[in-house]
Amino acid sequence: MQTIQSLDPLRSAVEALRADGELALVPTMGALHEGHLTLVREAKARAAHVAVSIFVNPRQFGANEDLDAYPRQLERDSALLEAEGVSLVWAPSVEVMYPQGYATNISVSGVSDGLCGASRPGHFDGVATVVCKLFNQVRPDLAFFGEKDWQQLAVIRRMARDLDLVRPYADRIFGVATVREADGLAMSSRNAYLSPEERARAAALPKAMREAIARIESGGEVAMTLGHLALELLDAGFASVDYAELRDAASLEPLSALGAGPARLLVAARIGPARLIDNMAVGGGADRQ
Ligand code: PAF
């Protein structure tokens, strides 16, 4: 496994890997957990080589967010990736990614609006910009993202379609189902911020979501059910609920009732120092974007 930190060696390394078959990219910010390793395994099952990028992207963090506290553990991450048979780790510095004079921003309207786009202004511009750069740097045939960041996946696919990206084509951007802890909490690097007590309370999030979904699927009124869900989280020890919304799974249009197409319940809530997000399919049927 090669670990590369600057652009010229990256270009030659990815050319050499691609000469040997298809190359998949798994973009990450490091602090890897089983969710990331699942993305790597899915990528390995579909491509000859897997590249993983590790870059804590300052442009997707707001002024009062956890950029400085975000865990950085390249050595540990590299050992995990080597054991998974990854061919290449791309770990650029901030200066390599955004050199002096950097001035370009990619902004995807529509799917970026509302949900995390409302509670984290500028976040999805930062994500779209860095992912577009990662795609141009590594030029992968396929790319893999976690469905835990459902809105992020929609933004990236929209960006790939709108910019006519070729490496990867939009239809070769894969979403992988959320990996959960035994108590149902979605795996996230930010779970590490929680104290043991907060971590135990955090399991109320997937539980309350599953209960809300059962109510909506059995005909419960959506707005009332979502209000009840937010109250349950506050009762369980969450400090605030940024949003709890029912959306069309593909377009992310807000829904006030279940329709014919697949729907998604999306929630973001704060507990202790962490802001946790989760999403689940509602109403059965296809639950992929
Ligand atoms: O999901 C993440 O870890 C990040 O948002 C991503 C896609 C690697 C871009 O920095």
Is 29 touching ligand 1 by the criterion CB < 6 Å?
Answer: yes
* Cβ 26 vs Cβ 112: under 8 Å: no
- Judged against a pLDDT cut of 90, whether residue 150 lies above it is answered with yes
Whether 112 maps to a domain, the answer reads: yes
Q: Ligand 1: which of 26, 127, 135, 190 to mutate, most ligand atoms within 8 Å of CB?
A: 127
Q: Which of 55, 19, 142, 41 is nearest to 86 (CA)?
A: 41
Is the CB of 57 inside a 6 Å radius of any atom of ligand 1?
Answer: yes
Q: Is the pLDDT of residue 286 over 80?
A: no
Mean pLDDT of the chain, nearest integer: 97
Q: Give the mean model confidence (pLDDT) for residues 196-208.
A: 98
Query: Considering 147, 176, 205, which residue would you say is the last residue of a domain?
Result: 176
Among residues 189, 45, 163, 36, the alpha carbon closest in space to that of 108 is found at: 163
- Number of domain units in the chain: 2
Q: Are residues 144 and 22 in the same domain?
A: yes
pLDDT in tens, 221-236: 999 999 999 999 999 9
Using the predicted structure, report yes or no on whether residue 70 has a pLDDT greater than 70: yes
The answer to whether residue 184 sits within a structural domain is no
Instruction: For residues 259-271, give the mean pLDDT.
Output: 95
Looking at the domain assignment, is residue 97 inside a domain? Answer: yes
The domain boundary residue, chosen from 176, 208, 240 = 176
> CB of 26 closer than 6 A to ligand 1?
no
Question: How far apart are the CA of 28 and the centre of ligand 1, in A?
Answer: 5
Q: Among the three residues 176, 200, 235, which one is the final residue of a domain in this structure? A: 176
CA distance 270 to 66: 13
289 confidence band (pLDDT: 50, 70, 90): low
* Per-residue pLDDT tens over the stretch 46-59: 999 999 999 999 99
49-54 and 173-176 beta bridge pairing: unpaired
Amino acid at residue number 94: V
User: 154 is in which domain, residue-wise?
Assistant: 2-176
Token pair for residue 53?
């990028």
Name the band, by pLDDT with cuts 50, 70 and 90, for residue 287. low
| pTM confidence score | 0.96
286 falls within a domain: no
pLDDT-based confidence at residue 284 (cuts at 50, 70, 90): confident
Give Cα separations from 157 to 140, 233, 261, 268 (angstroms). 14, 31, 19, 22
Give the separation between CA 167 and CA 223, rounded to whole angstroms. 41
Q: What percent of the chain has pLDDT over 90?
A: 97
Question: Is residue 41 over pLDDT 90?
Answer: yes
The response to whether residue 131 sits with its C-beta less than 6 Å from ligand 1 reads: yes
pLDDT digits (tens, 9 = 90+) for 81-114: 999 999 999 999 999 999 999 999 999 999 999 9
Choosing from 26, 29, 106, 120 the residue with most ligand 1 atoms within 8 A of its CB, the one to mutate for a pocket test is: 29
Ligand 1 geometric centre to CA of 164 (Å) = 21
Does residue 138 carry a pLDDT above 70? yes
In the predicted model, is pLDDT for residue 285 greater than 90? no
Q: Residue 162 in contact with residue 169, Cβ under 8 Å?
A: no
**Residue 218, both tokens:** 């059995």
Residue 97 pLDDT: 98
49 and 101 together in one domain: yes
* 36 a catalytic residue: yes
Closest atom of ligand 1 to 28 CA is 8
Question: Is the C-beta atom of 28 inside 6 A of ligand 1?
Answer: yes
Instruction: Name the residue of 33, 36, 40, 152 whose CB sits within 8 Å of the most ligand 1 atoms, as the mutation to test its pocket.
Output: 152
- CATH code of the domain in which 152 resides: 3.40.50.620
Q: Alpha-carbon distance 239 to 274, whole Å?
A: 10
